[in-house]
Structure 1
Amino acid sequence: MAQINTCLKRTFTIFNLFFAIIGGAIIVLALLCQSLTNIDGGDGLEGRTTGLIVLYVVGGITMVIAILGAYGAHKESKVCLIVFLVCMVIGSLLMLRAGIPSAIFRPQLEGVLEQRFRQVLPLDKASDEVKNVADALQTKMHCCGLFSYTDWEDEIPSSCLCNQEEEMEGLCQSIGYMRLLQLGPQRSVYTKPCFPIMMQYFLLIADIVLGVVFTLAILALLGMTLSSIMIHQMRYPERPTLLMHVPAIFTTPPPKYQELHNPPEY
């Protein structure tokens, strides 16, 4: 006889299926970030390797825990469910510990990144690795410099230069002869700097990460609740109902009306 309610077991299985999908999505996100940052020396960006490792580990652990929970519910294994419950408790605490400070720090992210990027200026005197990354960003995003074309001082690269079509669209500005001496007078470079465009992506990634963290925290709390109920049902299974048999005595009730044999005297 099954000790766990069938409806609860199905709900828990669907929950773990969704939990596994979340883990797979995290791994896909890590692969996407790895491919997007693996351009022209972008694989050497500070913190990139650590971030990717964290995403892969979190995604893999999430899928393993989901499989463990689904197996424990299907086999009604108390050991698996207890391990799942412990993982949910630890996971919810870790997610809240990481998510709450990150959400508080999020409004300060732009200022911190701006300060870090200004440390590599001027770009023409930066390392070759930084120059390669900057050239790749300028080519893909059609921008020039981190905060302005003046970040390159007098050595503005060709990735900053506009073509005639872009000049007609108003995406460029003309640079005087003294500032662009080696390229000749009145050359056009992109008007937009790269940092605001990069910040849009950084903030988007930060919002996605925060969403994933708090989603995992909510799922961990839900999984903790469901697994606790299932463990309780396995520990205290429903007992069959005892029917009390009370002997019944049937007697013939007296008639409602009794016939008068002697007529009344007049």
Structure 2
Amino acid sequence: MGSANKCLKWLFIVFNALFALTGIVFVGLAHFSGIAAEMKNEVGNFWTLSLFGAIVASISILGVYGAYKEKGWALITFSVLVSIGTVICLIGGVQNISDRAQLSGKFEEFFERDDVDTLLQHIQEKFNLECCGTRIGYQEWSSQIPESCICPTSYQGTEKCQKTNARRFTGSSRYWGFYQTEVYSETCHSLIVRLFNMMMDAMTGIFFGLSIAGLIGVIMAINITCRIKKQRTTMPVSIYECSKPPAYEELYTMKFMPEQA
């Protein structure tokens, strides 16, 4: 290949090597991270992450092999598989946008439940959410504010917290007492909706980002494949033409051959 073609080839190899490394990282996170044991209990999540990483790594390695060895079949297979993945990512991104309103409605239904306060307290303690109350803050707990609402010392005096005089349970002495303390100023409704929107935005960005990356990869692979085929069809012809003897050589030889008696 020429210098321009070599640049495209190595750019494609680096591009796919990064994706292969990303896939390997996904598999490693699924198997060796601190949450691996918990994820294995949720078999669907564990194997989905592992399978996704393995597929990404395998397709990327196939692309690297095809470009480095200049194998047209490998690049064509890579293009087909990545095209399918690109379409799936586009569908996933569009579906994610359409599901957002429906999921938001389910969130609002959750906050209308009668036992939402108890559920939120359980969620706060499990996930260490930095919020207090459902919609109006610590006032919903009257004067008995749970420990999950109390700001840690590192947050006190910041915008995350607000001061209040309320009766709260102290776990060490096992009795209720009045203390001036600081509680989280953001309500759990506001925090959970904000985190939900951030998660949906991130998922949509990932879907469309992978679609764009896949499209770029397919264009590069097709370009390299066409250049390889063009190079292989033109090189034998040029070699043949260079080695072909002149057309007049045979006539010249016959004209000056001595006549036999």
Same fold (TM over 0.5): yes
CA contact (8 A) 1:20 1:63 kept: yes
Instruction: Give the aligned residue type for 2:14.
Output: I
Instruction: Give the aligned residue type for 1:239.
Output: T
- Residues 185-240 of structure 1: CA distance to partner in whole angstroms, max 9, x if unpaired? 67755443223223333333322222221121111111212222233334443414
- Tell me: CA distance 1:33–1:119, structure 2 relative to 1, closer, same or farther (3 Å): farther
CA contact (8 A) 1:85 1:224 kept: yes
Q: TM-score, normalised by structure 1?
A: 0.63
The equivalent of 2:147 in structure 1 is 158
The equivalent of 2:80 in structure 1 is 86
Cα distance in 2, alignment partners of residues 232 and 215 from structure 1: 26
The equivalent of 2:234 in structure 1 is 239
1:173 aligns with 2:173: no
- Residues 217-264 of structure 1: CA distance to partner in whole angstroms, max 9, x if unpaired? 111111212222233334443414558x899xxxxxxxxxxxxxxxxx
Cα distance in 1, alignment partners of residues 134 and 52 from structure 2: 33
Q: 2:132 aligns with which of 138, 141, 144?
A: 144
Gaps of 5+ in 2: 169-174, 249-261
Cα distance in 2, alignment partners of residues 173 and 109 from structure 1: 34
- SS of the residue corresponding to residue 164 of structure 2 reads strand
Gaps of 5+ in 1: 248-266
CA contact (8 A) 1:173 1:190 kept: no
CA contact (8 A) 1:12 1:226 kept: yes
The equivalent of 1:69 in structure 2 is 63
- Count of residues paired in the alignment: 228
CA contact (8 A) 2:63 2:74 kept: yes
Larger radius of gyration: 1
- SS of the residue corresponding to residue 86 of structure 2 reads helix
Q: What percentage of residue pairs aligned between the two structures are identical?
A: 27
CA contact (8 A) 1:122 1:152 kept: no
CA contact (8 A) 1:122 1:151 kept: no
Instruction: Give the aligned residue type for 1:183.
Output: W
Q: 1:135 aligns with which of 116, 120, 125?
A: 125
1:116 aligns with 2:110: yes
The equivalent of 2:11 in structure 1 is 11
What's the CA shift for 1:87?
Answer: 0.8
RMSD of equivalent CA atoms:
4.4
Cα distance in 2, alignment partners of residues 100 and 90 from structure 1: 16
What's the CA shift for 1:61?
Answer: 1.4
CA contact (8 A) 1:173 1:191 kept: no
Cα distance in 2, alignment partners of residues 195 and 30 from structure 1: 31
1:57 aligns with 2:48: no
Q: TM-score, normalised by structure 2?
A: 0.64
Instruction: Give the aligned residue type for 1:196.
Output: S
